[in-house]
Structure 1
Amino acid sequence: MRRKQQEEQAEAARCLTLLTNCVLLWNMVYMQEVLQQLQAEGYPVDEAHFEYLLPSRYEHINRLGKYSFENPAQAGPLHRRPLRQP
């Protein structure tokens, strides 16, 4: 936090909380798609293991402020990139 005033620090903290929640939601959307794809491919998906899934992973999030939007044609009908195939 690089703000001097407490009110500015609180505003920055709220913004970071909103950003964190967006990342968690985005991760959950993709995790749900992965589980649906696994089920469609015939893999057994045990709901008892869902409690071990963590949407708080962020290695794929670019935090340096450099973004690339070069291939929007790869996005599917719901404006998401397709899942990677092993």
Structure 2
Amino acid sequence: MALSQQLLDILVDPLSRQPLTLVAGKDGKQRLRCAANGLHYRIDEPDIPVLLIDEAELEDGSSAKDLVTKLRAEMKTKP
């Protein structure tokens, strides 16, 4: 079972509030990707998106902890 288009239409990145798109990860599993910041979010079975910023990954599957810290700091400095 895949995520419904209706759900995809309302999901946004919790950090940037930008839309998410469905992509295939290097492991062959589907992930949600934010084009604005490059963060990837896993989808657990059965089709449960894990939109926790601290568990986001980069495209290569590595932890995005350093990038998330930098993005959070940038967001705090914007008016």
TM-score by length of 1: 0.23
Structure with more of its chain in helix, by fraction: 1
TM-score by length of 2: 0.24
